[in-house]
Amino acid sequence: MRFGALEAGGTKMIVAIGDENGKILERASFPTKTPEETMPQMIDFFKDKEIESLGIACFGPIDLNKDSKTYGYITSTPKLDWKNYDIVGAFKKALNVPVGFDTDVNGSLLGEITWGCAKDKTDALYLTIGTGIGGGVMTNGKLLHGMLHPELGHIRLAKVPGDDYAGKCPYHGTCFEGLAAGPAIEERWGKKAVELADRDEVWELESEYIAQALSSFILTLSPQIIILGGGVMHQMQLFPLIREKVVKQLNGYLNTKELENMDKYIVPASLNDDQGIMGAVKLAIDVKGEIK
Ligand code: ADP
Ligand code: ZN
């Protein structure tokens, strides 16, 4: 069977055809311009591919409440051309197939849960640290939506003494994203994050903030595994630093078998940056199953 998949990002739209095993058979990518320009390109890609259904893992905020009048819309996004845009409705109308819809980070988590490093888990957290910070959560085998969807990048953290950076988040200044996403690293240190690879103090500070956030998520969500993706996490030296600081911050309060093996507890994404598009394939498979 063939399923359509879209990983909708603020910079680019990745479209693909996948099979029931998550294998990507064909893919393309278009820059995210206006809906008038970009939607026809994506619809053209899917049009004659005989897909059963479509899965969309989408940047947000988005409306995931099926009882809402604006279910399937991108809502208050800073990408103004896409604000209040009915992306699910537009694809349903153009392609006449069922459409599954979730956040980009829930999509990545679903990819990892279905085909990646979190296969046997029922409770997991996926965090992306890139242009922004966002998190997807699975609890008891279900993706967590709540009243909207979690916004794990915007929690408050304790500022490290000596770090006088004002923070980058337009809403909260020094929230997690404001302190630790790629653009914050670049503004604080005055260089592209990738060019700071050999500056130990950069990653020392970065790992402190990431560890603070993860400690809070461990205490509130009790995940069995934490997967870290996104551009910034390509700095692999962060992993041992984060693990060590999380252990220090939790200070022996929790004693679980998962926390005994930190190398397997806090891990990099495992699907070569295909976790998002593969998760979108799974959203398509699931929506087809729901409808049968
Ligand atoms: P997006 O979040 O826009 O989908 P990415 O996850 O690639 O895209 O995140 C982009 C951010 O990550 C930028 O701020 C960039 O500087 C940073 N970044 C990308 N690659 C690296 C790298 N190898 N090392 C450190 N930072 C990186
Ligand atoms: Zn914020």
User: Is there a contact between 134 and 151 (Cβ–Cβ < 8 Å)?
Assistant: yes
Q: Which atom of ligand 1 is nearest to the CA of 130?
A: 9
pLDDT in the model for residue 239 = 98
Q: Ligand 1 pocket by C-beta < 6 Å: which residues?
A: 9, 11, 130-131, 182-183, 186, 192-194, 230-232, 234-235
Residue 113 resides in a domain:
no
171 and 86 belong to one structural domain: no
Confidence of residue 30 (pLDDT cuts 50, 70, 90): very high
Atom 7 of ligand 1, residue of closest alpha carbon: 231
Q: Which atom of ligand 1 is nearest to the CA of 181?
A: 14
Q: Which atom of ligand 1 is nearest to the CA of 129?
A: 6
pLDDT digits (tens, 9 = 90+) for 99-111: 999 999 999 999 9
How far is Cα 63 from Cα 83, in angstroms, rounded to an integer? Answer: 11
Percent of the chain with pLDDT over 90: 95
Query: Mean per-residue pLDDT for 2-21?
Result: 97
How far is Cα 43 from Cα 36, in angstroms, rounded to an integer? Answer: 11
128 and 45 belong to one structural domain: no
Q: Which ligand is nearest to the CA of 181?
A: 1
Percent of the chain with pLDDT over 70: 100
Residue 88 resides in a domain:
yes
**Based on the number of CB atoms within 10 Å of its own CB, is 198 exposed (0-12), middle (13-18) or buried (19 or more)?**
exposed
Task: Give the residue numbers spanning the domain of 160.
Answer: 118-268
pLDDT digits (tens, 9 = 90+) for 142-179: 999 999 899 999 999 999 999 999 999 999 999 999 99
User: Ligand 1 mean position to 12 CA, how many Å?
Assistant: 14
pLDDT in the model for residue 43 = 98
Q: Give the total number of structural domains in the chain.
A: 2
Question: In a mutational test of the pocket of ligand 1, which residue from 108, 185, 232, 275 has the highest number of ligand atoms less than 8 Å from its CB?
Answer: 232
Query: Does residue 291 carry a pLDDT above 80?
Result: no
pLDDT in the model for residue 88 = 98
Q: Which ligand is nearest to the CA of 167?
A: 2
CATH assignment at residue 158:
3.30.420.40
Confidence of residue 292 (pLDDT cuts 50, 70, 90): low
Q: Which ligand is nearest to the CA of 108?
A: 1
Q: How far is CA 61 from CA 77, 95, 139, in A?
A: 6, 24, 20
pLDDT digits (tens, 9 = 90+) for 35-76: 999 999 999 999 999 999 999 999 989 999 999 999 999 998
136 and 256 belong to one structural domain: yes
47 and 141 belong to one structural domain: no
User: Ligand 2 mean position to 132 CA, how many Å?
Assistant: 9
User: Ligand 2 mean position to 247 CA, how many Å?
Assistant: 26
pLDDT digits (tens, 9 = 90+) for 215-258: 999 999 999 999 999 999 999 999 999 999 999 999 999 999 99
Question: In a mutational test of the pocket of ligand 1, which residue from 168, 177, 194, 210 has the highest number of ligand atoms less than 8 Å from its CB?
Answer: 194
196 and 66 belong to one structural domain: no
User: Ligand 1 mean position to 138 CA, how many Å?
Assistant: 24
Confidence of residue 207 (pLDDT cuts 50, 70, 90): very high
User: Ligand 2 mean position to 256 CA, how many Å?
Assistant: 31
Radius of gyration of the chain (CA): 19
232 and 135 belong to one structural domain: yes
Confidence of residue 290 (pLDDT cuts 50, 70, 90): confident
68 and 165 belong to one structural domain: no
